[in-house]
Amino acid sequence: MSGAVGMGVVGAGSIGIRAALDHLSLDDVQDRVRLAAVCDPAPGRAAAAAEKYGVPAAYESYDELLADPNVDAVTLCSPIGIHFEQGLAALRAGKHVHFNKTMTITTAEADTLIEEAALRGLPMVASPGQMLRPLNRRVRRLVQEGALGRLAWASTGAAFGQYHENEGVRQGDGPLTNISPVWYWRQPGGGPMYDMTVYGLHSLTGVLGPAKAVTGFSGVAVTEREFRGVTHTCDAHDNTVLLLDFGDNLFAFVYGTVAGTVTHFGLTSIFGTSGQIEGDKLNGRPLEYPGREEAAASPIGDNALLPHVVGPHATLGEAHVYEDIMQLVDWIRDGIPSPATAEHARHVIEIVEAGYRAAETASTQELRTTFEPVDGE
């Protein structure tokens, strides 16, 4: 299409505000993408977002947003557990879709979305686009060139802590500042694996390629959490450790835990017979990659190196999600496919889903999905 893409923001919660509305309302993107509508089922929230950000239409009903002819694409900033049904409805309404992480919670759901999008010729982009980062591309190139020798093992992961309870958008009394984090602690779709470890899994598999099997342990460590004086029951697994088999005796330790980390968030540690990469260091020294000095000087780190994170966008939060949204915009407008593919997202989803199944059954699970890794720098 030649004009600006009309974007519908689905969910005016934390990510909807910080990743979509804050960025897409800025003047510098209006020639490529414009905010067409926003929806949220919480009474008054969509209307408040529309007033603040100058969005022409506000809906409490998702169906009403999909029926809006000014909406060409949607960014799903809603809880992970409903991404599948919302994504499928959007595709069947002829809308392009950006999925916030994670695209779905099951591999079968991801299969259905990929098939539906292919049938309708609709591009989809699925966050997180970790292989857009120059650092990860450099790491993949070094691994391919044999800089670490014979690869032995790798690790990635993240911890929940109390990050979501303490976000600024949850501490006020207005509809845009009193947003509940409770869904992060509940099934389906809650827990650190789908919400946080997914970043590291995209980096790990982006660098090493698809995994072949998974086993592990998983459970609920914290069964209750308090938010604003109310105690909530937690049933999403918050303490998960997995072992991945990449073939040829290359293994990886992956964790999504309630507390404690041993790797850099979103990055990997990779160990070989001739060297090691831990985050952004090669054998203990800064790893050189395009833009390293710029990233070191930026308050948002290597998010500042993402293609669309320029000017005022480099001062805002969730710039990496904004980048993934713009990847979809470029795909729609210019026919430029994004490395943040639904196929890569599906493989990561299968790792998490099969990992939970392995923990439940005390057995190793073979993985069936694959994707085409992004090569080099």
The predicted pLDDT at position 363 comes to: 97
pTM: 0.97
Sort residue 99 into left (φ over 0), alpha (ψ -120 to 50) or beta: beta
DSSP string, 50-65: HHHHT-S-EES-HHHH
**Residue holding tokens 């330790």?**
253
Question: pLDDT (tens digit, 9 = 90+) per residue, 65-81?
Answer: 999 999 999 999 999 99
Residue 1 above 80 pLDDT? no
Residue 53 domain-assigned (yes or no): no
CA distance 323 to 196: 18
Q: 249 lies in a domain?
A: yes
Residues whose CB is less than 8 angstroms from the CB of residue 91 and which lie 6 or more positions away in sequence, other chains included: 97, 113, 116, 117, 120, 122, 124
Whether residue 240 is contained in a domain is answered as yes
Of the candidates 187, 193, 186, the residue with the CA atom closest to the CA atom of residue 240: 193
The pLDDT, as a whole number, for residue 2 is 78
- The answer on pLDDT for 377 being more than 70 is no
The reported pLDDT for the residue numbered 155 is 98
What is the number of residues in the chain? Answer: 377
The predicted model gives 193-211 an average pLDDT of 98
> Is 49 a member of any domain?
no
pLDDT at 11 (0 to 100): 98
Name the token pair of 214.
Answer: 């998974």
What's the CA gap between 208 and 246, in Å, rounded?
8
The residue whose two tokens read 């009394």 is: 173
- Both tokens of residue 53? 């950000």
CB count in 10 Å sphere of residue 358:
20
pLDDT tens digits for range 206-219: 999 999 999 999 99
Question: Region 321-338: what's the mean pLDDT?
Answer: 97
The rounded mean pLDDT for the chain is: 97
What's the rounded mean pLDDT across residues 137-153? 97
Is residue 274 situated within a structural domain?
Answer: yes
The number of domains in the chain is 1
* pLDDT for 376: 61
pLDDT, tens digit, 9 for 90 and up, residues 106-126: 999 999 999 999 999 999 999
Judge whether 110 and 88 are in contact, CB under 8 Å.
no
What is the spatial distance between Cα 283 and Cα 171, in angstroms, rounded to a whole number? 42
148, 272, 354 from 251: Cα distances, Å: 15, 11, 16
Tell me the residue range of the domain where 361 lies: 131-291+342-366
Q: What is the mean pLDDT of residues 130-157?
A: 97
CA–CA dist 208, 267 (Å, integer):
12
In a domain, 40, yes or no: no
Among the listed ranges 120-129, 141-150, 159-168, 214-223, which one has the minimum average pLDDT value?
159-168
**Contact present, 5 and 332 (Cβ < 8 Å):** yes
Residue 54 lies in a domain: no
> Which residue stretches of the chain are H helix?
14-15, 22-24, 45-53, 62-67, 83-92, 107-120, 134-145, 192, 198-208, 292-297, 319-334, 342-361
Residue 64 lies in a domain: no
Q: Is the pLDDT of residue 307 over 90?
A: yes
User: Residue 360 sits in a domain of what CATH number?
Assistant: 3.30.360.10
In the block, residue with structure tokens 């592990």: 216
